[in-house]
């Protein structure tokens, strides 16, 4: 990417919509490549190495969930998933395979561009603790979270979390006695520049509980604090 230009891959089988998104992004100085089905999305992502993928959920060939799953085997690009459906399960499945956020159609192109810019301001990896000191492993019963290695285990077995799932769990475990609201979790995991539907936190919590083998009705790890948000169950 010459001159520091950031490359974005837009994947949507609605060719006209993909073109509109691309035109808005190009006006903002991004380099844009397009794909209109699942197989070509993977091929283009391998060739273009984008920093971010705008990915429609419903695609010919194979869907956006499968694209995201395959993408995560070779790329750490941000994934912003587009869905025309309000089904919570679609969001959970998309985020659980590695999407970072979602936007529900219909949406305004300017809003989408702003969401993309906010996402790209987010650090791509954990920063090293100041002074070179390492953060201790956090333990909550059989759950262990290592903030430095960015690993999570339950009963000694590794749990495969997405980057965002880990960041949400890290935010909760950093203040284990506190009940954190959605905005507090977003600022810790996404950064203060993020905006959009704050209920994205609920979707990630649901995915986390599934992977951790947790039960919202009788939680071992993540508790719901009604009217506030979420917190950790004391270990």
Residue 159 near residue 222, CB atoms below 8 Å = no
Query: Domain of 177: which CATH number?
Result: 1.10.10.10
**Domain presence at residue 128:** no
Number of domains in the chain: 2
Same domain? For 73 and 110 the reply is: yes
**Domain presence at residue 69:** yes
Give residue-wise pLDDT tens across range 121-137. 876 554 434 444 578 99
Compute the distance between CA of residue 64 and CA of residue 2 in angstroms, rounded to an integer. Answer: 29
Compute the distance between CA of residue 218 and CA of residue 114 in angstroms, rounded to an integer. Answer: 39
Same domain? For 70 and 169 the reply is: no
**Domain presence at residue 129:** no
Same domain? For 100 and 162 the reply is: no
The alpha carbons of the chain give a radius of gyration, in whole angstroms, of: 18
For the chain, what's the residue count? 235
Nearest to 216, CA basis, from 110, 225, 80: 225
Domain that holds residue 20: 2-120
First to last CA, the chain: 47
Same domain? For 115 and 140 the reply is: no
Q: How many CB atoms lie within 10 A of CB 210?
A: 11
Question: Which band of pLDDT confidence, cut at 50, 70 and 90, is reported for residue 88?
Answer: low
Of 120, 150, 182, which residue sits at a domain end?
120
Q: What percent of the chain has pLDDT over 70?
A: 90
Same domain? For 113 and 20 the reply is: yes
Question: Which band of pLDDT confidence, cut at 50, 70 and 90, is reported for residue 105?
Answer: confident
Same domain? For 112 and 141 the reply is: no
**Domain presence at residue 126:** no
Give residue-wise pLDDT tens across range 147-175. 999 999 999 999 988 888 899 999 999 99
Task: For residue 20, give both structure tokens.
Answer: 């509109």
């Amino acid at each position: 990417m010459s001159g520091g230009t950031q490359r974005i891959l837009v994947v949507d089988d609605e060719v006209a919509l993909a073109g509109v998104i691309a035109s808005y992004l190009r006006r903002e100085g991004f380099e844009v490549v397009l794909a209109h089905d699942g197989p070509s999305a993977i091929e283009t992502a391998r060739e273009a190495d984008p920093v971010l993928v705008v990915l429609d959920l419903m695609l010919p060939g194979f869907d956006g969930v499968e694209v995201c799953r395959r993408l995560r085997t070779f790329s750490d690009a941000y994934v912003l998933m587009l869905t025309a459906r309000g089904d919570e399960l679609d969001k959970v499945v998309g985020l659980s395979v590695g999407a970072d956020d979602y936007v529900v159609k219909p949406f305004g192109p300017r809003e989408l561009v702003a969401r993309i810019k906010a996402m790209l301001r987010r650090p791509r990896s954990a920063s090293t603790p100041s002074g070179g000191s390492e953060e201790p492993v956090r333990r909550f019963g059989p759950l262990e979270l290592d903030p430095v290695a960015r690993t999570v285990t339950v009963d000694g077995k590794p749990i495969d979390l997405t980057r965002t799932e880990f960041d949400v769990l890290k935010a909760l475990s950093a203040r284990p006695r506190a009940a954190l609201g959605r905005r507090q979790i977003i600022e810790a995991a996404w950064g203060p520049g993020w905006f959009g539907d704050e209920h994205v936190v609920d979707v990630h919590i649901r995915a986390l509980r599934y992977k951790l083998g947790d039960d919202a009705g009788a939680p071992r790890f993540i508790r719901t604090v009604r009217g506030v948000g979420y917190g950790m169950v004391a270990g």
